[in-house]
Chain A
Amino acid sequence: MLFFYKRLLPFKQVFKWLSHSPKVTKDFTMREFAFEFRTGAYQRYNSYGSVDEFKQSVINANPTRFEVGAVYAVNPKERKNLPKTAMKPESKELVFDIDLTDYDDIRTCCQKTDICKKCWKFIRVGSKVMDAALRDDFGFKHMVWVFSGRRGAHCWISDPRVRQMNEVTRKSIIDYMDVLASKQSKLSSKKPLLVKRPLHPHVERSLEILSEEFVEIILNDQDPWFTAPDTASDAKSWTQIEELLSFLPDNKLQQELRSKWKSSSGISTSRDKWEDINVVAKSVLKSTAQANQLLDARKDIIIYYMYPRLDVEVSRQVIHLLKSPFCIHPGTGNVCVPFDPTQNISGNSQDDSYGFNPMTAPNLRILQKELDSWEQNSPSNDSDKKLADYERTSLKPYVEYFSKFVNDMITDELQGISKRAREEDLSF
């Protein structure tokens, strides 16, 4: 762990990202950092005056991970000398957290903390949906997706407008995004539809994105409604099938399908069943109104199974702490690398279809090996080529991606500042 902090973790980039400037600003010095130690101890309210102090402190403390909190009105480390009321959180990035454990009822490939390439696709499509909404609807520009190290992803949004938002506004964005908030009430109360019609443009667009991948992710990969008589997996499939049926509008249609599937003696995949719905519906549903209801129901099903499931608490609170990018996940040894949801940056062509492949993400052990082998293979006279250590490992593309993101953000930030300054000049 220590070698990672000393040699690989790109403190400079993380610092610039949090400072919103190449220089030290209040956004960095008044920012809370928290350490978690191997013993389970948790140390809050650390703050640092410079990037070197920050790095040195992390190296000295050698925590299992460090978390990023809010920017306060006063210096967090001096909070004991100040009245409680002075510790007001002033700004923070808006964060979204998607966690695959929330998908356990629909995942058939893995459960709990396990993940694989198949279920990562939920995150991939989820991040697409979120990205579109955050950019197009809310007009945010500077957001970065970060692998959480095990089974989820975080999205950090750094636009100045976002950082200033109070909790009411944050909550309103979360509610806007959290289309499945009514998921629980839908299941208990059997409302006819999950989302109201006509579909809100955000839901409509999300549906388009999800529909493109529905066949691949749900019908092929997850195959939750797969049944083969007399196998162990049947029980879970049938609860899933009952849930699927509960979405359908017509009682008769539900019954017909149920008896058809119950009586089938062979293997029946989700894809077969999805097609069955249409086939049976043709004979059962008479009016176009009913057919439209079914169409709406099918849309609901797609949204229900694939729309990103958000952990809202993380996003709502300004003071909430979240693991910093480039930390190590203590359980897996994976580096929490930023990734690009639209394209693969690992350089490994096998990962192209995943955007980001959590199974081959940079890992502490691998990085150590890479560093060691580089040192053995390259003669010491190579030192004239001033390479940073991370550039000798598979961490390189991720740091570069992050650097580019941070630099773009800072360029905009500085433009914003000089623009404001100009406007102020004009007013005199």
Chain B
Amino acid sequence: MFRQPKRRTAGRKNFDLPQIYHEQSYKSRLSMYDQPPLLEVTLEEFELWAIDRLKVLIEIESCVARTKTIKQTEAAIKPLLLKYLPLSPATASNQAIVDAERKKDYYSHFILRLVFCRNEELRKKFVKNESILFRIRYAQLQPKEQQEFVDSLNDKLSWTYISSEEKRAIVDKLYAATGAAIRTVLMADSPDTATMTNEQIKQRIATHENFIKLPFEKVPNLTSSRSVFIQAGYAYIPTTMQLSLLAVDFQENLSQMLIRTFQSLPRLEEDDRLLPLLNNLSQNFSSYQYDAAQYGEAKSDINAISITKPAITRHYPLCASHVQKNLVANSHLKYDARSQLSLFLKGIGLSVDEALKFWADQFTKGASGITMDTFNKNYRYNIRHDYGLEGGRINKRPWDCARILQMTTPRSSSGQYHGCPYKTFSADVLTHNLQELGITDQHEINGVIDQVANNEYTHACTRVFELTHKNELKGTKAEEEMHISHPNLYFDRSRQLERAATEKS
């Protein structure tokens, strides 16, 4: 089962360690990851640690996709953390274990930085998920450990706590500015605090909360939202909000470091051991990669005729049905939309012959005035190219959501319909489309629109999937609640659910 580390690398050093360097001692269970690791690890460790951490991050991503609260997310990843990235509190007897665990955590973080620094989308995702992990872990620390952790960062953070006299003098204002936020945090911890009176909250401020005082420039978010008390240029931040302050620091630091990692990545290009590994890892996370061969069977009902029928089209995600609807209406599609739809259809199992039939039918049937000759001259090559039968003969994969989201904004005035509708539609048009999909509950529609407003388009699409498949999803395993990151995934899951439902009955 376990392969031995390769011996031949054991004696070889690829770089000289600085003389002054000693192995970092991991003082706390939590880390800001501000010093890059310098010791050697084996390739096996490198890969294994990265995959283990990745498993945790993927779970976080999928929790976020299902708009779970941070508490629910914490519950979901707790078993994973114990299994893959345990961090035990230090005791006298377990020093070796603790060091090993912290080392794994530390190194795996830096390995994944290499993986996820490639492009903006990956960086954002990584920063988001790592920040959530950071928050959850911070919350898991004992209060004493939290304090120690903050203290250990003291040089960098330069936090000063206000004295109790100063606090007493301004307690009313502190309550007015931060009382509501403190109450929310308390309620998340223990619901029975919901009934606390304002006086009790004030009391708590006076006795429990330690306020940090720092220049308001440091906390633009809290300033913007008027969620802290500001006086004479200083913002007063209660204990309960210090986590968000830390998390902001963590987040900013990490995004900067990822860009720097990206800039120095070319130095790795020569290393043929790591690059394939890194590429592989980043793909695993970035999206579900659609492989047509995998779904080869049971697709016999997909042909040029059936894909125009509701029995099939009702499994389409909004992007595909939007493009196809316009194809049918205009008897034409421009290049971007054509590629998008053609590859999607290829993904659902439409053979090249059927595809040519379908496109020719659509293009020649109506208003566009395209004859069979013109079609063969201008478009046939294009379709065959998608199937890897022309030109470079690349067997193209259906586009995933990330690819589609990167497309330029379509201008419908000039007949462009490509892209992700959740991104390109206005709120009104989207609402209308959602209603056509059968989502009529205003509350549910607003939920989707909100996600769109936060630029979480795939999350919105996942939500739509869940809403339109409510009945089929009932009673199925939680596993089914997968985040949709590929139009074909939407289609396949929809059909699978349908099949499962018919088998049941």
B231 contacts A137, CB within 8 Å?
yes
| Residue from the list B173, B216, B229 in contact with A172, Cβ < 8 A | B216
* Contact residues in A for B231 (Cβ distance below 8 Å): 136-137, 139
Is B175 an interface residue, CB under 8 A from the partner?
A: yes
Q: Quick one: closest B residue to A138, CB to CB?
A: B233
Most A CB contacts (10 A, CB to CB) among B176, B179, B180 go to B176
Does A7 sit at the interface, judged by CB under 8 A? no
Assess whether A138 is in contact with B230, with CB atoms less than 8 Å apart. Answer: yes
Which residues does chain B contribute within 8 Å of A204, judged by CB atoms?
A: 176
Contact of A171 among B177, B224, B229 (CB under 8 A): B224
In the complex, B221 has a CB within 8 A of chain A: yes
Query: In this assembly, does A266 line the interface, its C-beta being within 8 Å of a C-beta of chain B?
Result: no
Which chain A positions have C-beta within 8 A of B225? 175
Q: Given A138-B216, A175-B224, do A198 and B232 touch, yes or no (CB 8 Å)? A: no
Task: Mark the stretch among A37-45, A66-74, A161-169 that contacts chain B.
Answer: A161-169
A134 → chain B closest CB, angstroms: 10
Contact A173 B223 (CB under 8 A): yes
Residues on B with beta carbons closer than 8 Å to the beta carbon of A169: 217, 220
Which residues, 151 to 209 on B, are CB-close (under 8 Å) to A? 173, 175-177, 179-180, 198
User: Are A176 and B230 closer than 8 Å at their CB atoms?
Assistant: yes
Q: A198-B179, A200-B176, A204-B176 are in contact. Are A172 and B233 (CB under 8 A)?
A: no
Of the candidates A161, A172, A175, A204, the one having the most CB atoms from chain B within 10 angstroms of its own CB is A172
| Contact A199–B176 (Cβ < 8 Å) | yes
- The interface residues of chain B lying within 8 Å CB-to-CB of A198 are 175-176, 179-180, 198
Chain B residues near A138 (CB, 8 Å)? Answer: 216, 230, 232-233
Which of B198, B220, B229 is A168 in contact with, Cβ under 8 Å?
A: B220
Report how far A175 CA is from B220 CA in the complex, Å: 10
- Which of the residues B175, B198, B226, B234 comes within 8 Å of A203, measured between beta carbons? B226
A83 in the interface, Cβ–Cβ < 8 Å? Answer: no
- Shortest distance between the CB of A296 and any CB in chain B (Å): 14
Task: Closest A residue to B221 by CB, please name it.
Answer: A172
**In the bound complex, how far is the Cα of B179 from the Cα of A168, in angstroms?**
26
A175 to B232, CA, bound (A): 17
Contacts of B232 in A (CB 8 A): 136-139
Chain A residues within an 8 Å CB radius of B216: 138, 172
- Within residues 111 to 161 of chain A, which ones have a CB less than 8 A from any CB in chain B? 136-140, 161
Within 8 A of B (CB), among A160-218: 161, 165, 168-169, 171-173, 175-176, 179, 196-204
Known pairs A198-B176, A198-B180; A176 contacts B224 (CB<8 A): yes
In the bound complex, CA of A124 to CA of B339 (Å): 61
Complex contact A171–B233 (CB within 8 A)? no
Residues of B within 8 A of A171 (CB): 220, 224
CB interface residues, A 280-331, toward B, < 8 Å: none
A176 to B225, CA, bound (A): 6
| Number of A-B contacts defined by CB within 8 Å | 57
Q: How far is the CB of A265 from chain B (nearest CB, A)?
A: 42
Tell me the count of chain B residues lying within 8 A, CB to CB, of chain A: 21
Q: How far is the CB of A197 from chain B (nearest CB, A)?
A: 8
A171-B224, A172-B224, A173-B223 known; A201+B217 contact, CB < 8 A: no
Roughly how many angstroms separate A169 CA and B230 CA in the complex, as a whole number?
Answer: 14
B388 to chain A minimum Cβ distance, whole angstroms, is 44
Q: CA A176 – CA B228 in complex, angstroms?
A: 10
List the A residue with the shortest CB-CB distance to B235: A137
A172 to B227 alpha-carbon distance, docked (Å): 12
**Most central of A140, A196, A202 by chain B CB within 10 Å:** A202
Min CB distance B429 to A, Å, is: 18
In the complex, what distance in Å separates the CA atom of A196 from the CA atom of B178?
Answer: 11
Shortest C-beta distance, A198 to chain B (Å), equals 5
With CB as the reference atom, state the residue of chain B lying closest to A173. Answer: B223
Chain A residues with CB under 8 Å of B234's CB are 139
- B224 to A: closest C-beta gap in Å: 4
- C-alpha gap A169/B217 in the complex (Å): 6
Q: How far is B231's CA from A203's CA once the two chains are assembled, in angstroms?
A: 13
Query: Of the candidates B177, B221, B224, B233, which one forms a contact with A200 in the assembled complex, judged by CB atoms under 8 Å apart?
Result: B177
Instruction: State in angstroms the CA–CA spacing of A169 and B218 once bound together.
Output: 8
Interface string of B132-165 (1 = CB under 8 A from A): 0000000000000000000000000000000000
Of chain B, the residue at the smallest CB distance from A169 is B217
Q: Which residues of A lie under 8 Å from residue B180 when comparing CB positions?
A: 196-198
Bound CA span A176–B224, Å? 5
The residues of B that contact A165 with a CB separation of less than 8 Å are: 217
A211-260 interface with B by 8 A CB criterion = none
By beta carbon, the residue of chain B nearest A196 is: B180
Q: Which residue of A lies closest to B225 (CB)?
A: A175
With both beta carbons as reference points, the residue of chain B lying nearest to A205 in the complex is identified as B173
Chain B residues positioned under 8 Å from A202 (CB to CB): 226, 230
A203 partner residues in chain B, CB cutoff 8 A: 226
**Assembly CA distance A179 to B226 (angstroms):** 9
Residues in A whose Cβ lies below 8 Å from that of B229: 200-201
23 A-B pairs (CB sep. < 8 Å):
A136-B232, A138-B216, A139-B233, A139-B234, A171-B224, A172-B216, A172-B220, A172-B221, A172-B223, A172-B224, A175-B225, A176-B224, A176-B226, A196-B180, A198-B176, A198-B179, A198-B198, A200-B176, A201-B173, A201-B177, A201-B229, A202-B226, A204-B176
Q: Given contact pairs A138-B216, A175-B226, A201-B177, enumerate 10 new A-B contacts (beta carbons under 8 Å).
A: A136-B231, A137-B230, A169-B220, A172-B223, A175-B223, A179-B226, A198-B179, A200-B177, A200-B226, A201-B176
Nearest first, the 9 closest Cβ-Cβ pairs linking A and B are A139-B233, A172-B220, A175-B224, A172-B223, A139-B232, A201-B173, A172-B224, A200-B226, A137-B230
Q: Could you list which residues of chain A lie within 8 angstroms of chain B, going by C-beta atoms? A: 136-140, 161, 165, 168-169, 171-173, 175-176, 179, 196-204
